Structure 1
Amino acid sequence: MSVLIAIPARYASTRYPGKPLVALRGADGVSKTLIQRSWEAAMAVKGVDRVVVATDDDRIREAAEGFGAEVVMTSSDCQNGTERCAEVLDQLGGFDMVVNLQGDAPLTPAWFVEDLIAGLDADAGAEVATPVLRCDGRALNGFLADRRAGRVGGTTAVFGADRRALYFSKEVIPYTGKTYADDAETPVFHHVGVYAYRPSALAAYRGWAAGPLEGLEGLEQLRFLERERPVLCVEVEARGRQFWELNNPEDVARIEAMMAEMQAG
């Protein structure tokens, strides 16, 4: 099985313009751009044949080529990373699976992606898969604090007994009405912004218009659910690592603190 990782990156983010080129300082004091740290996360994944950055912006292309990444230029008409991955596959072809490792998730451990690839490969009836991570109290409290402050933080997922997704939301679902200690296990699952697709899923996706739920939530994976195409949720384990995506400027300090904590550990 041949696997491609594509890292979609666009400059014109509505919530955070220029986000891929934001600098993140590591525990060693070295600053690297968000897109470089995301690329390094992708390069650490085992069993992958090729890793590319997919963008429509020359500033991102120049930065990515500067640290040694392969870049595939895609259309500015792409509405989201899934459409960008479809364009990459059109250009490169020849892969049995495409992984969309979004360029705002530098804390994604390699085993998240490895488990995702294995999960989709093992389920012949699934065309799309995505990881979900059970929130501890610390993570859930961070979600709730963001919502109280009027910020959109991470995304949550609910799924059935067959691990097929029921819904994804930028609200915190399911409602619990409880307060949890930082190290407590909760019933809320953080949707990790990574996807694995079979080529058939990418080909179908590009032919569909965005539905109302995708438009309201701003979540590309809802296009599959609105077309009644199942999305497999693969539960991954934190193994003591903190995980967060860079969604807002306020997340820079949060992610830098998490990197420092991981280094200290």
Structure 2
Amino acid sequence: MSVLIAIPARYASVRYPGKPLVELTGATGKKQTLIERSWRAACAVGGVDRVVVATDDDRIRAAAEAFGAEVVMTSSDCANGTERCAEAHAALGGGYEIVVNLQGDAPLTPHWFVEDLVAGLRAAPGAGIATPVLRCDGETLNSFLDDRRHGRVGGTTAVFAADGTALYFSKEVIPFTSKRYGPIEPTPVFHHVGVYAYRPDALAAYPSWPAGPLERHEGLEQLRFMENGGKVLCVEVTARGRQFWELNNPEDVPRLEAMMAQMGLE
């Protein structure tokens, strides 16, 4: 089953303009842009046939081609990464059986997250899209709550049924819990990892659907599938001792660099 990874990247982010070209310093002092680190994370995934950067910006294209990435230019009209992946897949002539959207702000995504995600979608023929979820420990949950207290957009959380079918995603912390958890204690909150695997028919249909009120309020693209009756499969993944965080705000840069230093990532 052929697999394409597309890394959507845009320069004109509302919250963080120029984010893909922000440099992150690794454990050895090596500096690499966010988009390069995300591309290298994608290239480490097993069982993938092709990796491309999908962008509408010539600055990102030049940077990506300089470190050896294949680039697909897409329209500036794409509203989100899913629309950009749909356009990139079409521009490549289609034909891939699974398209993975590895967003360009998650360079710490371990390869097994994506490998487990693809395996989960393959095993669920009724799902058109799958996405990973990671059970929060107390330290991560406290970071989420701290972001919300300070008005920052932090990680996204997910709730899902016993069979993995997503019930809702939110930038608020759901489900509600009043208990205080220790740093490594498992919690009932699941961190939504911003990676998606699509079947091509579901991906191609997505841009034709209007954004619904939930997608508009939350700013979460996956809610469009749910608002149009699609099944989104949540695939639980495990950290295996790795730390994970996305770069959502400028304040996240030192957080990611500290994580890379602790894990010895160059």
TM-score normalised according to structure 1 size: 0.99
Q: 8 Å contact 2:126–2:231 — kept in the other structure?
A: no
Matches within 5 A, 1:40-119: 40-92=40-92, 93-119=94-120
Residues 149-160 of structure 1: matches in 2 within 5 Å? 149-160=150-161
Structure 2 equivalent of residue 219 of structure 1: 220
Asked if 1:30 is matched to 2:17, the reply is: no
Give the Cα separation in 2 of the matches to 1:8 and 1:141.
29
Give the Cα separation in 2 of the matches to 1:162 and 1:204: 24
Q: CA deviation at 1:71?
A: 0.2
Q: Partner residue of 2:196?
A: 195
Q: Distance in 2 between matches of 1:139 and 1:263?
A: 20
Task: Tell me the CA shift for residue 102 of structure 1.
Answer: 0.1
4+ residue stretches of structure 1 with deviation over 3 A?
none
What TM-score does the superposition give when structure 2 sets the normalisation length?
Answer: 0.98
- Structure 1, residues 55-107: CA drift from partner, whole Å, max 9, x if none? 00000000000000000000000000000010011111110010000000000
For 2:224 and 2:126, locate their aligned partners in 1 and report how far apart those are by CA, in whole Å: 18
SS of residue paired to 1:156:
strand
Secondary structure at the aligned position of 1:220 is classed as: coil
- Partner Cα distance (1:250, 1:171) in 2: 18
**Per-residue deviation at 1:203?**
1.5
Q: How many pairs does the alignment contain?
A: 264
Distance (whole Å) between structure 1 residues aligned to residue 229 and residue 173 of structure 2:
23
Deviation at residue 39 of structure 1 after TM alignment = 0.3
Shift of 1:162: 1.4
Partner of 1:165: 166
CA distance in 2, matches of 1:137, 1:263: 23
- Percent identity of the aligned residues? 77
2:264 is paired with a residue whose SS is: helix
| Residue type at the aligned position of 2:213 | P
Q: Paired residue for 1:148?
A: 149
Whole-angstrom distance in 1 between the partners of 2:159 and 2:13? 26
- C-alpha displacement of 1:204: 1.3
Deviation at 1:179, TM superposition (A): 1.0
Report deviation, 1:212: 0.7
Task: Give the match's secondary structure for 1:48.
Answer: coil
Structure 2 residue matching 1:72: 3-state secondary structure: strand
Paired with 1:201 and 1:132, the residues of 2 have a C-alpha distance of 20
Distance, in Å, in 1 between the alignment partners of 2:15 and 2:125 is 37
Q: Is the 8 A contact 2:100 2:198 kept in 1?
A: yes
Whether 1:122 aligns to 2:123 is yes
- Looking at structure 2, the residues matched to 89 and 107 of structure 1 have their Cα atoms a distance apart, in angstroms, of 24
Paired residue secondary structure (2:125) = coil
Aligned letter for 1:26? G
> What root-mean-square deviation, in Å, do the aligned CA atoms of Structure 1 and Structure 2 show?
0.7
Check conservation: 2:3, 2:47, Cα contact below 8 A.
yes
- Deviation, structure 1 residue 53: 0.2
1:247: which partner in 2? 248
- State the Cα deviation string for residues 164-186 of structure 1 (Å, max 9, x = none): 00000000000001111101000
Pairing of 1:177-196 with structure 2 (within 5 A): 177-196=178-197
Q: Name the SS for the 1:111 alignment partner.
A: helix
What's 1:176 paired with?
A: 177
> Is this contact kept in 1: 2:5–2:48, CA < 8 A?
yes
Q: Which runs of 5+ in 1 are unaligned?
A: none
Deviations 1:99-141 (A, max 9, x none): 0000000000000000000000111111100000000011101
Task: After TM superposition, give the deviation of residue 258 of structure 1 in Å.
Answer: 0.4
